[in-house]
Amino acid sequence: MKIFLDTADTNEVRKFLDAGLVDGITTNPTLIANSGRNLFEVITELSQMVMGPISAEVTATDWQGMVTEGRKLAKISKYVTVKVPLTFDGLKACHALISEGIMVNVTLCFSSTQALLAAKAGATFISPFVGRLDDISINGMKLIEKICNIYANYPSINTQVLVASVRHPLHVVEAAQLGADIVTIPTKVLEQMIKHPLTDKGLESFLNDWNSTGQSIL
């Protein structure tokens, strides 16, 4: 399973790139706004750092506007994936952009029927939001299970399931168990995945024992 970072903070991305943990990036208007930087500058810099898909979201709501914005975003880099909302206009824009060879991430998916339509429109990625479903007492991971099962029934579907709105490491584990292609996660969740109290305790014990020998490897 691939791991994308859900961030527009290039410093955060750089931190994890050196460990080989980042396969791509997702951004959205909120993340760009929080960065305090220009959209095109951020996407350009991310594209130069990460040799993988970089999702940049349109802000138009009509399909012609989405296509126009999408074309402009796609010119930044071959790695740019145009992010469109799962509306009728978004599906039309997806179909148009895909026909031009531009990668598309259809976002704000909350049902298996929406995911099926996104695949029909040719989406490169579908982004179901599990955390937001959990927030309203609906099991978000059940949606991932349904989408993965539906897509598996049809070998002609090439749309990748990109699990979004991930709130904690358990979401990541469940996504992997269900066979999702990708999870996009905040850096906080990635840090939580790395750390374990028994690892820290074991390392402390090993180092204390080693230091008592007075030896040095160097």
Question: Are the C-beta atoms of residues 106 and 127 closer than 8 Å to each other?
Answer: yes
Gap between the Cα atoms of 58 and 55, Å rounded: 10
Select which of 2, 15, 83, 195 is catalytic: 83
DSSP state of 76: T
* DSSP-assigned beta bridge partners for residue 4: 24, 184
Six-digit token pair at 108?
Answer: 């704000």
Q: Is 84 left (phi over 0), alpha (psi -120 to 50) or beta?
A: beta
Task: In whole angstroms, give the CA distance from residue 92 to residue 205.
Answer: 59
Tell me how far apart the alpha carbons of residues 120 and 45 are, in angstroms, rounded to a whole number.
32
Is 164 in contact with 130 (CB distance < 8 Å)? yes
188 is catalytic: no
Tokens of 131: 């955390």
Active site residues per annotation: 83
